[in-house]
Structure 1
Amino acid sequence: MIVAVVAVSAGTVVPAAADTDLPEYLTKMRAPEMWKVADGTGITVAVIDSGVKDVAGLKGRVLPGVSFMEPPINQPEKTYPAHDDFDGHGTSMTAAIVGDGSGGGPHGLAPGAKVMPIRTSIGTPMAFAAIAEAAKGVRYAADNGAKIINLSIGGWWSLDKIGPAVEYAQSKGVLVFVAMGNDGSKSSNPIADLPGVFGVGAVDINGEPLPSSSAGASTDFASFGGKAPIRCKENTAWCMRDGGTSLATSLASASAALVWSAHPDWTSTQVARVLLQTAGAPVDGAKRNDWVGYGIPRPSKVLLDRAGDPGTPDGDPLAAPAPAKAPTPSPVPASTAPHRTDSAAAESRLAWQWPALGISVAVIFGLGIALILKRRRR
């Protein structure tokens, strides 16, 4: 669920599961096989959210981070550590990326990565300040080693601040993923409309868009946002509930971390390009649609099937790739040579497929954010 001001709601408490138990969405993504190739090691993902609570499953996987929450006027000395979380939302997103599955929490898709928690006022009465705080967090993340920024938050406040901050991070080679929102309409997260930001929608285990997932021209990817362990009961337990586009964004960020971990010499443009090339496209043969964008990130296609052409280190990742360098006289073995993705017809036979453009979606619950009037394409 994308967070604006509203806190996460309660659900069914999750009993502790064995560390070997994996949810269906991870097995469909071939996570155990991918982890033999890359698990996110060497990649830092900045989670700009409500902070992170030190819970079981996150030990040794979370960096010190920073908080940009301002103290109350009547308590100027009050501090808000990055390793605390009133709401539980940031803790949930962190665990979805790097969790080890213990204590009832989720298995993260990129368990070898590190999360840099950047705490904002999400989940507090001061949540209206969160986007301005997030802008500071984006700059901090870019200056302190983050390769990927995860924004499972949204709102229309302070776009004049977060826009330049995102541009600054991109100039430093950082990928930015943002949740589309959960009001089930085409009134998507305005942050997703910023140039170069990748907007992420949510689908269920069968690849159908969640009725609550917002959509529009800002959608670039979609990932699983169904039932998963989410922090509940005032951040004292894990509950099973829909993770929405927030969870989907964390999985998209983790997918990028896996690819980048396997190819640390690639640039953000090259990582984005292969994720776009290998995404499970809409089954009607369209290049993209407003509900799933270009499809689900499938890092297994890159790590296990050696699909995708990274192309040049710079430029538009949506443009057709060009060779990264001129061919050399020595041939590259076929087993290691990158190749282009399968045709649309072949894609339609693969798992995690996507519905055709035009699927109708009912509004389930609102965590509304401002209407995007027009998306600038990259």
Structure 2
Amino acid sequence: MRKLVCGVAVVSALFITSCSKDNLNSESGINTPEISEQKDPLSVDEINRIINEILQREDNFHWNDVSDFVLWSALKHGDNILTIGYGTDKNDYSNKGTASQKSSKDKIISFVKSMEDKIAQQKGEDVLIYDDEFLTIIDMKVEKLETIKELRSEFAIRYMEPSGYSLFQNEQFKPAKVQASSSSSSGCGLEGESLNSSDYVTVVPNSKMPWNFYAYHNIDEAWSHSTGSGITIGIVDTGASTEQSLLNGSFNNGYSSGRTIERKGVYVDSWWPWSTETDGVNDKCGHGTSMTSVAGAPRNDKGQTVGVAYNSNFVVYRAASNVVLDGYHEQKGVARAFTELGDRSDVDIISMSMGHIISVGRIEDAIKYAYSKGKLIFCAGGTSTSFTNFVGVIFPAWMSETVAVTGIEENSVYNVCDTCHEGNEIDFAIVMERANNNHVPVLGYYNNQADYVGGSSVAAAMAAGIGALVWAEHPGWTRTQVLNKLISSSHLYPNKNSSFGWGVMDALKAVQ
């Protein structure tokens, strides 16, 4: 079986586009006369070239970096869905219902309606698509360049983004066209794999412990101190399979007991931006099932793989259809998951092995919201095919509020895995790729089925599990104390590497 490269996949759409307008090379957030006086929007390839140039220059991309005309052009290719983050400054992201926030929002809505209502009425659409209850965000239908210009110059707005715009909307560049070279790469796929007996050892009561647990991260020895009991991990992903009993009724099996697993569904599978009906809690990709498994599958007596924090509680979100967060409803789903998890006092750790090559304002706001509530947030540093992994650490792992994790090869002096990203935003490394290219054994999507998963996806989920072991050993600690212990117990401490952070995590030292 060949799986789609997911796990924060990055495809090559941005890097092989062409442009027909000579002046586009100078685009840097300024309205040049040549661009601003055009009547027709830029093409997708032209917009992507501008994004690529900014990424190469700045290492990250925000829509605030481009001109009014470029933003409007992207809006025209994105169903005219404009996300507006309103507020007085960058920290005004939490919707507290203050008079100032309400006034700012009402003024923006009133203005946009005055500019756009006639067009909307002709199409039978509402101008206001969505008003977020947690964050200072509204989504509106905007078609006029004049509306963009006026909003940017006259209103209290933190950012505006064309949420319906897809970087990969050109048919030849869709993620489904890019595949991994082996079934062990992280990504979508419901078929299982037969495990090589050299990739695990059997531990009581009858569980398969993955090779990297004991060979590189001392997780087996850490279990004599902590198994994650009392800690709750939120998994923001594609959900967890309802066909895998060890993530359902047998979640408490073998040496795992007294814990809970909850499923939440916030992803809306619809092309219509006003739609609110989710498609349920079940994983239809397989990626979320793998992440939940490696972080905390039970130490079972059924001959199946065990996860790191096998006595932790879990809240697993179906927040997206796959792990390339390139769609409006996927971005909304992920933001909703983070804000809901942030509001739960019982959730300690959040793990997300999904992302995007550019910043998404609503997800950034939601992560800041969860961080403000004391959550320890682990994110995958990026996984892609080898010819695009020079991009560096991707969003949201590049955020200061997240702990960025990447994967490396075994028996190496920090060689990044074939599809993993590296960079100065990385905090930790997990050994997850064997010399024979096998990766980490996990539970399969169906009962009595196993699989392999790789990339920075599995690295982030494993790191979250190790974090749970530490926090369970010191339940009175703060997020900062837990993170400091993870840092001081890692391989390269006290010297942080520019590509791999504090290096390989050592679970035993972390819990001692």
Q: TM-score, normalised by structure 2?
A: 0.53
The equivalent of 2:27 in structure 1 is none
1:142 aligns with 2:364: no
Distance, in Å, in 1 between the alignment partners of 2:295 and 2:231 is 11
1:37 to 208, 219, 225: 225
Residue pair 2:354, 2:380 contacting (<8 A) in 1 also:
yes
Aligned partner of 2:472 in structure 1 is 261
Mapped partners of 1:40, 1:96: distance in 2? 13
Match of residue 67 from structure 1: 265
Counterpart Cα distance in 2 of 1:78 and 1:113: 30
Q: Is 2:435 the partner of 1:224?
A: no
The structural deviation recorded for 1:126 is: 8.9
Equivalent runs, 1:182-193 vs 2, <5 Å: 182-183=383-384, 184-193=389-398
**Do the aligned partners of residues 157 and 186 (structure 1) sit closer, same or farther apart at CA in structure 2, a change above 3 Å counting?**
closer
Query: Which runs of structure 2 are paired with 1:99-118 in the superposition (5 Å)?
Result: 99-100=297-298, 105-118=304-317
Q: Does 1:251 align with 2:438?
A: no
Residues 179/51 of structure 1: CA separation in 2 closer, same or farther (3 Å cut): same
Contact 2:264–2:318 (CA under 8 A) maintained in structure 1: yes
Name stretches of at least 5 consecutive residues in structure 1 with no aligned partner: 307-378
| Structure 1: distance between partners of 2:431 and 2:293 | 15
Supply the AA of the counterpart residue of 1:222: A
Tell me, what secondary structure is at the counterpart of 1:85? coil
**Relative contact order (alpha carbons < 8 A, sep ≥ 6): 1 or 2 greater?**
1
For the residues of structure 2 that align with 1:76 and 1:136, how far apart are their CA atoms?
15
Change (3 A) 1:204 1:147: same
Once residues 123 and 8 of structure 1 are traced to their aligned partners in structure 2, the CA distance between those partners, rounded to angstroms, is 7
CA deviation string 1:203-252 (max 9, x = no partner): 133354212111112211111333123567x8687454441110000111
SS at match of 2:356: coil
In 1, the alpha carbon distance for the partners of 2:496 and 2:305 equals 32
SS of structure 2 residue aligned to 1:146: coil
SS of match in other structure, 1:25: helix
1:119 and 2:318 matched: yes
* Structure 1 CA distance for aligned equivalents of residues 208 and 424 of structure 2: 37
Structure-1 residue corresponding to 2:188: 8
Contact 2:267 2:321 in 1 (8 A): no
Partner Cα separation in structure 2 for residue 229 and residue 125 of structure 1: 23
* CA offset digits 1:75-131 (Å, max 9, x no partner): 96964332x110110000001011126566531011011111111223399962323
String of CA shifts for 1:329-377, please: whole Å, max 9, x gaps.
Answer: xxxxxxxxxxxxxxxxxxxxxxxxxxxxxxxxxxxxxxxxxxxxxxxxx
Cα distance in 2 for partners of 1:98, 1:225 equals 17
Q: 1:200 aligns with which of 398, 401, 405?
A: 405
What is the aligned residue count? 299
1:27 aligns with 2:214: yes
Q: Whose Rg is larger? A: 2
1:1-378 aligned within 5 A: 2-4=7-9, 7-8=187-188, 12-14=193-195, 19-28=206-215, 29-54=217-242, 55-58=244-247, 59-60=250-251, 62-72=260-270, 79-82=278-281, 84-100=282-298, 105-123=304-322, 128=327, 129-144=329-344, 145-156=346-357, 159-183=360-384, 184-206=389-411, 208-226=415-433, 227-230=439-442, 238=449, 240-281=451-492, 286-290=495-499, 292-303=500-511, 306=512
Contact 1:48 1:149 in 2 (8 A): yes
Task: Tell whether the 8 Å contact from 2:240 to 2:292 is kept in structure 1 after alignment.
Answer: yes
Q: Distance in 1 between matches of 2:408 and 2:287?
A: 19
Using the TM superposition, give the Cα deviation of residue 179 of structure 1 relative to its aligned residue in structure 2, in angstroms: 0.4
Q: Secondary structure at the match of 2:246?
A: coil
Contact 1:85–1:235 (8 Å) recurs in 2: no
Q: Could you tell me how far apart the structure 1 residues matched to 2:218 and 2:488 are?
A: 18
Secondary structure (helix, strand or coil) at the match of 1:12 reads: coil
1:73, distance to aligned residue in structure 2 (A):
6.3
Determine the structure 1 residue equivalent to 2:21. none
CA distance in 2: counterparts of 1:242 and 1:204, whole angstroms: 14
Q: Relative to structure 1, is the Cα distance of residues 189 and 164 closer, same or farther in structure 2, using a 3 angstrom cutoff? A: same
8 Å CA contact 1:229–1:238 kept in 2: the answer is no
The code of the aligned residue for 1:23 comes to: P
Match of 2:36 in 1: none
Q: Deviations over 1:156-178 (max 9, x none)?
A: 46611111111111111101111
Superposed CA deviations along residues 303-346 of structure 1, whole A, max 9, x for unmatched, are 2xx3xxxxxxxxxxxxxxxxxxxxxxxxxxxxxxxxxxxxxxxx
The secondary structure found in structure 2 opposite 1:162 is helix
The whole-number CA distance in structure 2 between the counterparts of 1:153 and 1:126 is 7
| 5+ long unaligned stretches in structure 2 | 1-5, 10-174, 177-186, 252-258, 434-438
Which has the larger helix fraction? 2
Q: Which aligned segments of 4 or more residues in structure 1 are displaced greater than 4 angstroms?
A: 4-7, 15-18, 73-79, 101-105, 124-127, 234-240
Structure 1 contact 15–104 (Cα < 8 Å) conserved: no
Give the AA of the match of 1:229.
P
Q: Which amino acid aligns with 1:261?
A: A
CA, structure 1 residues 20+51, in 2 after alignment: closer, same or farther (shift >3 Å)?
closer
- The code of the aligned residue for 1:49 comes to D
**Shift, 1:36, TM fit:** 2.1
Equivalent residues of 1:62, 1:114 under 8 A apart: yes
Indicate the SS of the match to 2:291: helix
Q: Do 1:69 and 1:133's aligned partners in 2 also have CA atoms closer than 8 Å?
A: yes
User: Which has the higher mean CA deviation after the structures are superposed, 32-41 or 72-81?
Assistant: 72-81
Relative distance call for 1:238 and 1:210 in structure 2 (3 A) is: farther
Contact 2:358 2:395 in 1 (8 A): no
Q: Decide whether the 8 Å contact of 2:349 with 2:376 is kept in 1.
A: yes
Structure 1 CA distance for aligned equivalents of residues 323 and 367 of structure 2: 24
